[in-house]
Copies of this chain bind each other. A is one copy, B any other.
Amino acid sequence: MTGQRRQPRSRPETLARRRDILDAAVETFGSKGFAAGTLQDIADQVGMTHAGILHHFGSKDQLLIEVLQHRDDTDVADLEGQHIPDGMPLFRHLVRTAFVNAHRAGIVQAYAVLSAESVTDGHPGRPFFEKRYRTLRAEVAHAFEVVCAERGITEPATVDLACASILAVMDGLQVQWLLDPTAVDLARASEFAIEAIVSAVLSPQPSPLAEPASSAHN
């Protein structure tokens, strides 16, 4: 839990090697978790010793941090050019993401496992996930503001609840889907839930849970 290097990082071949290691680490941390996944596992995948990996990343903690950062960069790069969508297109984008994810169990599992593991004591991924959720909630909140403005709706107080809820369903469905892919339709369930939540913000219904208000005797 000490070392760190990293300053010149020039050679293109070296960068490629680092990427190989990062990819192997996603695979390993995804399938075993951070605590149970070992540097040996990762080293084997890229054909070097565990000391070789420490040469590149300094420590296991640092490797995890760079893994998380790297994936974020990659995902952003995917929608390079297409600026990050906003307003209603953001919600469509989230649904599309769910459909894409249904074919990428590996990455989905890595995020599902690591995000939950990150709440444990002293987990090195915790700051990343705290920030990630804060950012994502803010982006979704902004999309809601835009959509509400478009429709002349005074922005409802439920927006904050809805932002967290949308991210939450997506994550929660992933766990259930990973446990039993035949029992849960990740893409369609995500779509359904996102639509339900967006609808609830834009055109609130009376709570279906309300007690029948003393309908009869007793």
For residue A130, which residues in chain B have a CB less than 8 angstroms away from its CB? 179-180
A133 to B173, CA, bound (A): 11
Determine whether A142 belongs to the interface, using a CB cutoff of 8 Å to chain B. no
Determine whether A69 belongs to the interface, using a CB cutoff of 8 Å to chain B. no
Decide: A169 and B193 in contact? CB cutoff 8 A.
Answer: yes
For residue A164, which residues in chain B have a CB less than 8 angstroms away from its CB? 173, 176, 183-184, 189
Residue from B31, B133, B169, B202 in contact with A208 in the complex, judged by beta carbons closer than 8 Å: B202
Restricting to A153-206, which residues have a CB under 8 Å from any CB of B? 158, 160-162, 164-165, 167-173, 175-176, 178-180, 183-185, 188-189, 191-200, 202-203, 205
Closest to A133 in B: B176
A32 to B35, CA, bound (A): 9
Closest CB in chain B relative to A166 CB, distance in Å: 9
1/0 per residue A115-150: CB within 8 Å of B? 111111100001001100110010000000000000
Decide: B161 and A189 in contact? CB cutoff 8 A.
Answer: yes
Decide: B180 and A168 in contact? CB cutoff 8 A.
Answer: no
Q: List 14 A-B contacts (CB under 8 A).
A: A32-B120, A35-B35, A92-B209, A116-B116, A116-B175, A129-B179, A160-B185, A164-B183, A168-B189, A169-B169, A171-B171, A191-B209, A195-B209, A200-B200
Where the two chains meet, the residues of A that have a C-beta atom closer than 8 Å to any C-beta of B are 31-33, 35-36, 88, 91-92, 95, 109, 112-113, 115-121, 126, 129-130, 133-134, 137, 158, 160-162, 164-165, 167-173, 175-176, 178-180, 183-185, 188-189, 191-200, 202-203, 205, 207-209
